[in-house]
Amino acid sequence: MASQPSTRSSSSSASTASTATSTATQYLVHFVHRHLDFRKCDFDSSLIAQNLSPSSIYAASNFDMLRPFLICTFPDDETATKVAKSTVLIKHIYKVNSVGETTEDCVAKSKPFTSSPTESWKIVFDTFASKFTKSEQSKIMHQFIDLHKPSGPVKMKDPTTTMSIIHEYPVKISGAPMYPRFDHSGSPIPSNVDRPPLSVYFCSNFAAGGRDLVEKYTLKKRTYLGPTSMDNELSLIMCNAALTRPQSYVLDPFVGTGSILFSASVLGGICVGTDIDTRVLKGKGEGGVMRNFLDCNLPLPEIIRGDNSLHSRLFRSREVYDSIITDPPYGIRAGARKSGTTEDRRKPIPDEHRHDHIPQTQVYPVGDVMADLLTVAARGLKVGGRLVYLIPSLKDFEEGDLPTHECLELEWVCYQPLGLLLGRRMVVMKKVKGWVEEKEEEWKEKCWPNGKESADKVEKLREQMAEAAKKERAEGEKQGWGGKLHKTKKQRKKEMRNEVELKKFTD
Ligand SMILES: C[S@@+](CC[C@H](N)C(=O)[O-])C[C@H]1O[C@@H](n2cnc3c(N)ncnc32)[C@H](O)[C@@H]1O
């Protein structure tokens, strides 16, 4: 299997620390604690876009999906800065001064962090999955200051050197802290040996990630939105996974309100979009798909009212796109329709409407939507180009259920949970083989290796979700908590409070 699921094994702090002791400059990558299963794909895609092989930058065994810190080596500062800027899920890249398993270890290994009496400096304190009181922070900071006695002035605003002390604590598989640091009343639980950090880092602030784009182009600031508009962070992640860069040709065959092409355009892509529904393309007086591009002075995409099942009739061009990035219609938020009618008698088109006639549409089964999408990708992408799409799924959906095409190789499958049972996957495929027109039907027939059953899992998602909720309620009633989700959450909170109380008692 070519997909690269994120490593879930816990790489020990020792292995991370040992990487930091080699002589090359070490950088510490700090990911945001979101979209955990997408972080590796996002980082690796940025590395590949800079012509770097991920294995030359970090040891895959050191990557842990549950840890937001990763020690890397970049060829130089400029490359590290460029990579940081082009990612979506990196907050910051630091230059490592020392890494330890405890504060004392980190202090002992640290080196002087200023080099002249004129160099201004400050130290900031950061923690992951824990909190430190002001006095605890100050004590730790002074251990570094007392050891190195920097002679330059302290400057809180724009100092020459900003150092960060970061304490990283483990989290549970849910992403919640393993050891709550404060009880429900907000009082700190005294530290004890049962709460060891995973790593303590002492590093200088170096390069910011590309998070500014997430905030700058948030959906909240857009004039034209619809129920299908995709959040800006995820569409930027998709565009990065598709290796979108300035002058890339990007197609979204299910463009809707244009949110994916908007992000592609922000990254410099030249965009083309099609959608079967003129109402969503034109909007209701807000200016339609083009509005947000105009508002933000972005190059306007080519938008065509078109049916994806007839893509080859709409476009003669072959192997022209660098990427196809899309959120296909699965009938959950937006129904899939295709041209044609199931009625026996077609209505004649009056002459006066020939110029603006829109053909009748009929239901477009999910199995066909996906088979057509992969065909469009195999035909439209350049060899080496990428198809990135989202597919909603319940827990029983497996990677073997994904549609396949002989010209496309699976690169990544990243899972985003959207509840206890429902989630969606971002699938990245790379075109590895040239398009052969005569093979279209033969390839299409092999689209679902597990048969129609896999397509049904997506097609019947709505019914399955209702079924799953019913089952959950019944199970809950059996166990006596009423089966409602908010009750289980309440229960969990109560359990957590008890856990904290128990810890207080045992400390
Ligand atoms: C999930 S939405 C895409 C949302 C889009 N990413 C956005 O930002 O709004 C799917 C879109 O596919 C369109 N669609 C449905 N059937 C289609 C077809 N046969 N060809 C092209 N577009 C189709 C729908 O009109 C809808 O706008």
**Which residues have C-beta atoms less than 6 Å from ligand 1?**
226, 228-230, 253-254, 256-260, 274-277, 280, 307-309, 327, 329, 333-334, 336-338, 364
Q: Tell me the whole-structure pTM to 2 decimals.
A: 0.86
Choose among 240, 241, 234, 279: nearest CA to 257: 279
- Residue nearest to ligand 1 atom 1, measured at CA: 329
Q: How far is the CA of 307 from the centre of ligand 1 (A)?
A: 10
Q: Say how far apart CA 112 and CA 215 lie, in whole Å.
A: 36
Count of H helices and E strands in the chain? 17, 15
- Residue nearest to ligand 1 atom 5, measured at CA: 256
The tens place of each residue's pLDDT in the chain, 507 residues long, gives 334 544 333 334 434 444 444 567 899 999 999 999 999 999 999 999 999 999 999 999 999 999 999 999 999 999 999 999 999 999 999 999 999 999 999 999 999 999 999 999 999 999 999 888 899 999 999 999 999 999 999 999 999 999 999 999 999 887 788 888 887 787 777 766 678 899 999 999 989 999 999 999 999 999 999 989 999 999 999 999 999 999 999 999 999 999 999 999 999 999 999 999 999 999 887 789 999 999 999 999 999 999 999 998 888 889 999 999 999 998 765 567 787 766 666 677 777 776 676 777 778 888 899 999 999 999 999 999 999 999 988 877 888 999 999 999 999 999 998 877 788 999 999 999 999 999 999 999 999 988 888 888 877 777 777 777 677 677 666 666 554 545 556 666 666 665 555 444 443
pLDDT at 454: 85
pLDDT at 412: 97
Phi, psi of 202 (to 5 degrees): -120, 115
Q: Say how far apart CA 229 and CA 260 lie, in whole Å.
A: 8
Q: How far is the CA of 254 from the centre of ligand 1 (A)?
A: 4
Q: How far is the CA of 255 from the centre of ligand 1 (A)?
A: 6
Q: How far is the CA of 417 from the centre of ligand 1 (A)?
A: 22
Ligand 1 atom nearest the C-alpha of 330 is: 1
pLDDT at 9: 35
Q: How far is the CA of 335 from the centre of ligand 1 (A)?
A: 8
Q: How many CB atoms lie within 10 A of CB 254?
A: 22
Largest CA distance in the chain: 89
Q: What's the start-to-end Cα distance of the chain, in Å?
A: 48
DSSP E strands, 355-461: 361-363, 381-394, 408-417, 422-431
- Residue nearest to ligand 1 atom 22, measured at CA: 275
Angle CA 441–453–1, to nearest 5: 75
Enumerate long-range contacts of 288-291, CB under 8 Å, 24 or more apart: 288/224, 289/224, 289/255, 289/257, 289/258, 289/261, 290/258, 291/222, 291/223, 291/224
Ligand 1 atom nearest the C-alpha of 253 is: 21
**Ligand 1, pocket-test mutation among 225, 228, 366, most atoms within 8 A of CB:** 228
Alpha helices in 220-365 (DSSP H): 232-241, 259-266, 278-282, 290-295, 311-314
**Ligand 1, pocket-test mutation among 235, 277, 282, 313, most atoms within 8 A of CB:** 277
Structure tokens at 177: 């802290």
Q: How far is the CA of 495 from the centre of ligand 1 (A)?
A: 44
Query: For residue 363, what are the CA distances in angstroms to 252, 255, 332, 406?
Result: 20, 18, 14, 27
